[in-house]
Amino acid sequence: MRSGFSIIVVFVALAICGCVLLPLLPVKLFPSRELPSLTVSFEMPYNSARVIEQEVTSRLEGALARVEGVRGIKSRSGNGRGTVNLSLDRHADIDMARLEVSTIIRQLWGSMPEGVKYPEVSARQAKDEAKAPFMTYTVTSPMTSMEINSYIEDKVSPRLSDIPGVASVQLHGAVPNEWRLEYDADKIAAMGITPQDITRAISRHYATEFIGMPVSRDGLVRLVKKPRGGLDSFNPSEITVTASDGTFVTLDKIVKTSYTDGTPTSYFRINGLNSIYLNITAEEDANQLEVGETVARVIADAKAQAPAGMDFILSNDATDTIREELDKIYFRTGLTVLILLLFIIIVTRNFRYTALIVVSLAINLAIAVIFYYMTGIEIQLYSLAGITISLNLVIDNTIVMCDHYMRCRDRRAFPAILAATLTTAGALVVVFFLDEDVRLNLEDFVIVVIVNLLVSLLVALFLVPALADRFAVSARKRRRGGRWSRKVALLSNRIYRGYIRFSLRWKWGLVVVMAALIGLSGWQFFSKVREGGYFNRDQGERMLYINASLPNGATLSQMDALMRRMESYLAGFQDIRQFQTNIYNGRQGSITVRFTKEGAKNGFPYRLKSDVVSKALTLGGGSWSVYGLEDHGFNNDVRESAGSFKAKISGFNYDELMSYAVELRDSLLSRRHIKEVEIKSDYSYWKTDYTEYSLAVDRRALASAGLTVQDFYTALSQVFGRDMKCGSIQSGGVPEPIRLSSLQSGMYDVWSLLNVPLSVKGKDYRVSDFAEFERGSAPQDIVKENQSYRICLQYDYIGSNEQGKKLLDRRLDEFNAKLPAGYYAESDEWHWRWKDKDYSRYMLLGVVALIIFFLSSVLFNSLLRPLAIIAVIPMSYVGIFLTFWFFDLKFDQGGFASFILLSGITVNAAIYLINEYDALRVRLGRKGVRFYMQAFRVKIMPVILTVISTVLGFIPFIVGTDRESFWFPLAAGTIGGLLFSLIAIVGYLPMMLLPHLPRRARKSSRRESEMGM
């Protein structure tokens, strides 16, 4: 008794420690574990993909290739932007890699060309929502947007950044004003002035130059040449440019100056309002609920001290969703515990027994918190669901140990509990062998379940016996039933004994029947079950997504006008809580619609979706897609297929690679069965409408005129220069750029460009004398893989698919024979692959069976017993097959997880029965049907209790109107498999365990006794 009291005290102390550590666990909505990949992204507005690739991307790529642990590197350069993606080894330290990448960027930053925004380093995460801002404030004020921006950056952002748990504070919506200078190319050419001269003059006017550090009486003195112009004003009459004849011309004589609003590169609005948006992102290990409360206090204080008229409006708060999800999880957990406890009370009718279960479960969860803290577990959707699901598994261990200890007053059931727990944990371990994105989502879920199960072993071994002694819990004496109950019991025992003897005689026949059932149900499952997930994927609220696209050549203002028309329509609905608009460029824009709680419950989202589709059809001017909720989406984008045949050519020089790609395209087009071949940077399902003009220069004609390509390009850039950045001034602490453009850049069409005289080195030429323009499709981006350029070709073949493959292979072999070293062309085939349809992952179930085999072999000291246990697993799969096929359910990652979970928990009942049968056989020295029946009568009630309790524990995941992705398929598949596993345990386990019974065996009990059966 004293030992038991000491054990209880120790466990209570550990539980108190867990309760103390509970508030220290990070709380968030989605897991923030990072994939082994880093992305460096930057912007360089108003520059082409070629310029960005040569000036920035290639330099970054070459430097970042030295980072330790890099497995592959890819880069993409587009118009005005670029990215470099580093694929790291799965064992690489991503934090150290990020630090090394940041250091390299800082070293290169000083040598980067002007106009490049500082690159951002980010890690790709399992959930994109994990790195999204969790709080957004709209700042309104009578001041200008840049004045608001400056005030927030000076007064509010530093205070928010100092809050523990805040990762970043970003401001959106402020576009600085700019000075636009427009020159007449013909006029300055006549004066012998170039745009570069104007740029150098502006730079000299505002430049601060370091002269030197002479020695004085007081020591070294730093001499600096101050700029002639004030840094806070721009006056073109004060800036002089030197003409070709040596005269000085003031800038106001050759340029037209205007002070205008800055040109935005994208738009972000909430509820259609142009405002300043303050986005706050939390750190990965932060408790977002606590951080949100602190941010709210800081904003309230800043609002009280803000200038008159400034207001901070909370536009988005993810902590509300976190609280709703936590309430949902708490409800599920409470409902699970309530169902299990009611079930235990009804079955046992012993309140002390129920109290023991409750105390053991509470202490188990509290102690598990210690290990959550030590392993860095986050409290989010997956980990909370793991806690809920593991409750019934933990209770199973407690029930089995308590039932055995009440009958025998010893701990001999622990080896079976240990083996059953380890098999379940071992089955879950295979999640770590899945794809990275799937593994990182489920990692916390698996760790939580394993931790709870391992802690339950300690509770079952030490705490449950101590509590049973302390609570004086003993086995309830069975009352002798009435005459009819005894007859029913005898009849059921006789029927089951007769079935066992029948199954032993016709063992192979029943094996064939079960194999046929497994095969038939599996075929129905894999051929007819709908693949895919549910539309409300792990989100606490329903949202409607509206996307718009415009053809190539559309401007940002055109897309903005189109999106504003849809915003005006949405603004008329009161049940819309908020809609966020993102306009990325002139071709793409999106609107995300969130609903009020009342509107989400009364069917309004579905009506709005139908209305939005009707509105999109009337707007026109672009293509619209509307999706979300639980039904199919809408898309009116009509495009032609890009083709099913693909080829890829790679090399180290982009210009030569493009010429080789054109040569390969012409070679393919020489065949009558091929009508059109697209050259682009990526494969796609649809043809793109991206076209551009290319200038084919005749170098011989230039050489005969004594000109170079550089001379020709300089003359063209002088006429068509646009948005060239010359410098910037500080107006009220806000940088305002100065941009230079040509008057003719917006006037000339293609004919004018080719035929209007162009002055080159003092002589007039026409562009058509040296070059001609061609319009055609071209790669919009420049892509490199492992520092090798890549260009893709795609087309359709009219005729047999096999013949088309042979033609492509033959052409590529001939083409590769002519390519120089460093260049290579190869074909690609379509690989249709859905993650939920990747059958290769089902091979991991064999790993689960192997783990269970070795653990069972150690427990039973046999190589045959584990085979009987493993045979139960495929039989239980029939329950999954039939559940998904019969109820026509969608199968996603949760369905696959039910296979893994079921592999670990269905064998538990077999382990308990076999362990009890072996104990009787060792104690009595006999074996056979009679002793198996005795073991069956002892363990069948705990087995049924554990199976039913597990089934009841999953019921909260399938009740309600919403079928959540992952959790609903997981619960449905596990319930179906568990119920069918009872059939396997009762009907097939004795057949797999007991020796074959000859057909001549008699049914008499005397003969059975003589045979020792």
pLDDT-derived band at 590, boundaries 50, 70, 90: very high
Token pair for 175: 């576009």
pLDDT (mean) for 830-846: 56
Decide if pLDDT at 753 tops 80.
Answer: no
204-226 pLDDT, tens digit per residue, is 777 666 666 677 766 667 666 66
Residue 832: per-residue pLDDT: 39
- Quote the mean pLDDT of the chain: 80
Decide if pLDDT at 374 tops 50.
Answer: yes
Q: ∠ at Cα 672 (671, 673), nearest 5°?
A: 90
Token pair for 945: 């209790």
Of the candidates 653, 696, 646, which has an alpha carbon nearest to the alpha carbon of residue 674? Answer: 646
Beta strand spans in 796-840 (E): 824-828
Q: How far is CA 52 from CA 204, 224, 266, in A?
A: 26, 34, 19
Residue 434 DSSP label:
S
Q: CB within 8 A of 807, min separation 6: which ones?
A: 671, 673, 797
Q: Hunting for tokens 């109950």 — which residue is that?
A: 485
438-497 pLDDT, tens digit per residue, is 676 678 888 888 999 999 999 999 998 998 888 776 655 544 445 676 677 677 778 888
Sheet holding 178-183, edge to edge: 255-260, 178-183, 734-742, 724-731
Distance from C-alpha of 166 to C-alpha of 286, rounded to nearest angstrom: 8
Distance from C-alpha of 469 to C-alpha of 463, rounded to nearest angstrom: 10
Distance from C-alpha of 598 to C-alpha of 271, rounded to nearest angstrom: 19
- Buried/exposed 748-777: b ≥16 CB within 10 Å, e otherwise: beeeebbeeebebeeeebebeebbeeeeeb
855-883 pLDDT, tens digit per residue, is 888 878 888 888 888 888 888 889 988 88
Note whether 873 and 518 are within 8 A (CB). Answer: no
Residue 595: per-residue pLDDT: 87
pLDDT (mean) for 793-801: 87
Residue 786: per-residue pLDDT: 85
Q: Is the dihedral of CA 346, 347, 348, 354 positive or negative?
A: negative
Backbone angles phi, psi at 595, to 5 degrees: -110, 160
- The DSSP secondary structure of 873-904, one letter per residue, reads HHHHHHHHHHHHHHTT-EE-HHHHHHHHHHHH
Decide if pLDDT at 505 tops 80.
Answer: yes
Decide if pLDDT at 550 tops 60.
Answer: yes
Among 58-67, 316-325, 394-403, 939-948, which range has the highest average pLDDT? 58-67
Distance from C-alpha of 546 to C-alpha of 619, rounded to nearest angstrom: 13
The DSSP element (H or E) to which 934 belongs, if any, is helix 929-954
Helices (H) and strands (E) in the chain, counts: 33, 35
Token pair for 754: 């080719």
Note whether 442 and 382 are within 8 A (CB). Answer: yes
Distance from C-alpha of 330 to C-alpha of 323, rounded to nearest angstrom: 10
Q: Hunting for tokens 């402020």 — which residue is that?
A: 174
330-366 pLDDT, tens digit per residue, is 777 777 778 777 877 887 777 888 888 888 988 999 9
375-401 pLDDT, tens digit per residue, is 888 777 778 778 877 887 888 888 888
pLDDT (mean) for 619-637: 79
Q: On the CB side of 342, how many CA atoms lie within 13 Å of its CA?
A: 8
Q: In this structure, how many other beta carbons lie within 10 angstroms of the beta carbon of residue 375?
A: 12
- Buried/exposed 499-528: b ≥16 CB within 10 Å, e otherwise: ebbebbbbbeebeeebeeeeeebbeebeee
Residue 538: per-residue pLDDT: 41
Q: Name the residue with higher pLDDT: 228 or 88.
A: 88
- For residue 470, with 0-12 CB atoms within 10 Å meaning exposed, 13-18 middle and 19 or more buried, which class applies? middle
Residue 687: per-residue pLDDT: 73
Among the residue ranges 98-102, 127-131, 491-495, the one predicted with the least confidence is 127-131
Q: Which amino acid is at 961?
A: T
pLDDT (mean) for 581-586: 85
pLDDT-derived band at 228, boundaries 50, 70, 90: low
Beta strand spans in 717-870 (E): 724-731, 734-742, 758-760, 763-765, 771-777, 782-785, 788-795, 824-828
Distance from the Cα of residue 143 to its chain's centroid = 39
Q: Which amino acid is at 506?
A: W
Full-model pTM = 0.59
Q: CB within 8 A of 598, min separation 6: which ones?
A: 575
- The DSSP secondary structure of 969-992, one letter per residue, reads HHHHHHHHHHHHHHHHHHHTHHHH
Q: Name the residue with higher pLDDT: 885 or 363.
A: 363
980-1004 pLDDT, tens digit per residue, is 888 888 888 888 887 765 555 444 4
Decide if pLDDT at 156 tops 50.
Answer: yes
698-741 pLDDT, tens digit per residue, is 888 888 888 887 787 777 877 877 777 777 777 666 677 888 88
As beta bridge partners, residue 828 has: 646
Q: How far is CA 805 from CA 669, 677, 971, in A?
A: 15, 15, 45
- For strands 81-88 and 782-785, give the pairing: unpaired
Among the residue ranges 137-141, 458-462, 627-631, 657-661, the one predicted with the least confidence is 627-631
Residue 629: per-residue pLDDT: 77
Backbone angles phi, psi at 1011, to 5 degrees: -80, -5
- The DSSP secondary structure of 196-222, one letter per residue, reads HHHHHHHHHHH--EEEE--EETTEE--
255-312 pLDDT, tens digit per residue, is 888 888 777 777 877 777 767 888 888 876 677 788 888 999 999 999 888 888 888 8
Q: Is the dihedral of CA 815, 816, 817, 822 positive or negative?
A: positive
Q: ∠ at Cα 477 (473, 482), nearest 5°?
A: 155
Q: What SS3 class is residue 437?
A: helix
Decide if pLDDT at 552 tops 80.
Answer: no
Decide if pLDDT at 834 tops 60.
Answer: no
Token pair for 264: 């935005």
Distance from C-alpha of 629 to C-alpha of 894, rounded to nearest angstrom: 19
Q: Hunting for tokens 């004496």 — which residue is that?
A: 477
Alpha helices in 145-194 (DSSP H): 145-151, 157-161, 185-190
Token pair for 497: 């004994």
pLDDT (mean) for 52-79: 87
Q: Name the residue with higher pLDDT: 35 or 563.
A: 563
Q: CB within 8 A of 749, min separation 6: which ones?
A: none
pLDDT-derived band at 194, boundaries 50, 70, 90: confident
- Buried/exposed 1-34: b ≥16 CB within 10 Å, e otherwise: eeebeebbeebeebbeebeebeeebbbbbbbbbb
Residue 334: per-residue pLDDT: 77
Residue 570: per-residue pLDDT: 92
Distance from C-alpha of 57 to C-alpha of 394, rounded to nearest angstrom: 54
Decide if pLDDT at 433 tops 60.
Answer: yes
The three-state DSSP-derived secondary structure of 231-290 is CCCCCHHHCEEECCCCCEEEHHHCEEEEEECCCCCCEEEECCECCEEEEEEECCCCCHHH
Distance from C-alpha of 82 to C-alpha of 43, rounded to nearest angstrom: 6
Decide if pLDDT at 631 tops 90.
Answer: no
Q: How far is CA 33 from CA 37, 85, 441, 794, 926, in A?
A: 12, 18, 8, 37, 55
Residue 840: per-residue pLDDT: 59
Q: Hunting for tokens 């921006």 — which residue is that?
A: 149
Residue 687 DSSP label:
-
Q: In this structure, how many other beta carbons lie within 10 angstroms of the beta carbon of residue 61?
A: 22
Of the candidates 838, 831, 870, which has an alpha carbon nearest to the alpha carbon of residue 526? Answer: 838
Among the residue ranges 237-241, 370-374, 455-459, 469-473, the one predicted with the least confidence is 469-473
- The DSSP secondary structure of 351-385, one letter per residue, reads HHHHHHHHHHHHHHHHHHHHHHHHHT--BSHHHHH
Token pair for 191: 């004066």
Decide if pLDDT at 933 tops 50.
Answer: yes
Q: Name the residue with higher pLDDT: 561 or 340.
A: 561
- For residue 846, with 0-12 CB atoms within 10 Å meaning exposed, 13-18 middle and 19 or more buried, which class applies? exposed
